[in-house]
Amino acid sequence: MLDRVRLAVPEGGVVAVVGPSGCGKSTLLRIVAGLLSLDGGTVRLLGDPVTGPDARVGLVFQEPRLLPWRSARENVAYPLELRGVPRAERLARADELLASVGLDGFGDARPAQLSGGMAQRVGLARALVLAPPVLLLDEPFGALDALTRDRLDAELLGLWERAGSTIVLVTHSIPEAVFLADRVVVLSPRPGRVVAEIPVALPRPRRWADLDGVESGRAAAAIRRALEESADPEAGE
């Protein structure tokens, strides 16, 4: 699936991983999250080798992955519940988190009553509820419409700027990668390898309107070129 992937993510940075479908980007994220084990090699998280799921990691999946029988509030409170935080305390904390992702007043809603974007916000709130220093996102907003996705990306950046966590994001959207990341890692088709690391030197805080500049155009073009070259049969295995 993956082959000789070398990747260092600085603390407090945002790294986006881009690659064609099936190149193993989600696998890479699952390995970092401790959900899959490696055949060889090591992954270190904040200095410690990864041996299993880590409480210092917040995970956002491709789909909201909410427990359908629970309210939005109880879904956000779920990680706290597993750690034995008292009910009143964890529900209050969940309400704070829901407010921070713009879902004030939706605590009692069931997942089935929420739109796709709202459900994914609940998923994001759940990932943030333990205030993790590392946030891993697996094509988090890929299933949403483009406008909702842009908004959620901007809100994610706002949350990141306040929390200062480290973010690793898997995406197949080049604009999303450029907008969010300090550095974009491009993977080749399976077996996935790092074919390019492209820095994005856009000033922060960023806004979508800033993305029309020269630097973002350069970064996007570089990502596209790396993807095309790695897809070329001559460059393949």
Residue (110 or 172) nearer to another protein, CB: 110
Instruction: Give the Cα separation of 188 and 39 in Å (integer).
Output: 19
Residue (58 or 192) nearer to another protein, CB: 58
Within 49-78, the residues that bind another protein by CB under 8 A are 52-53, 55, 57, 59, 61, 63, 65, 67-69, 78
User: Residue 175: is it exposed, middle or buried by C-beta count within 10 angstroms (0-12/13-18/19+)?
Assistant: middle
Residue (83 or 224) nearer to another protein, CB: 83
* Choice from 110, 151, 172, 218 touching another protein (CB under 8 A): 110
Residue (77 or 227) nearer to another protein, CB: 77
Q: What one-letter code names the amino acid at 204?
A: R
Q: Find residue 44's DSSP bridge partners.
A: 49
Please report, to the nearest 10 degrees, the dihedral formed by the alpha carbons of residues 158, 163, 164, 170 taken in order. Answer: -60
Binding mask 180-219 for another protein (x = CB under 8 A): ----------------------------------------
Judged by CB under 8 A, how many residues of this single chain contact another protein?
21
Instruction: Give the Cα separation of 150 and 160 in Å (integer).
Output: 15
Instruction: Give the Cα separation of 15 and 114 in Å (integer).
Output: 30
Please report, to the nearest 10 degrees, the dihedral formed by the alpha carbons of residues 66, 116, 150, 92 taken in order. Answer: -40
* Choice from 88, 112, 147, 209 touching another protein (CB under 8 A): 112
Asked whether 226 and 196 are in contact (CB, 8 A), the reply is: yes
Residue (78 or 151) nearer to another protein, CB: 78
Residue (18 or 57) nearer to another protein, CB: 57
Question: Please, what is the minimum distance in Å from the beta carbon of residue 179 to another protein?
Answer: 26
Phi-psi group of 171: left, alpha or beta (phi > 0 → left; psi -120 to 50 → alpha; rest → beta)? beta
Binding mask 28-47 for another protein (x = CB under 8 A): -----xxx------------
Question: Please, what is the minimum distance in Å from the beta carbon of residue 50 to another protein?
Answer: 12
Q: What DSSP string describes 31-60?
A: HHTTSS--SSS--EETTEEP-S--TTEEEE
Q: Write out the residues near another protein by the rule CB under 8 A.
A: 33-35, 52-53, 55, 57, 59, 61, 63, 65, 67-69, 78-79, 81-82, 110-112
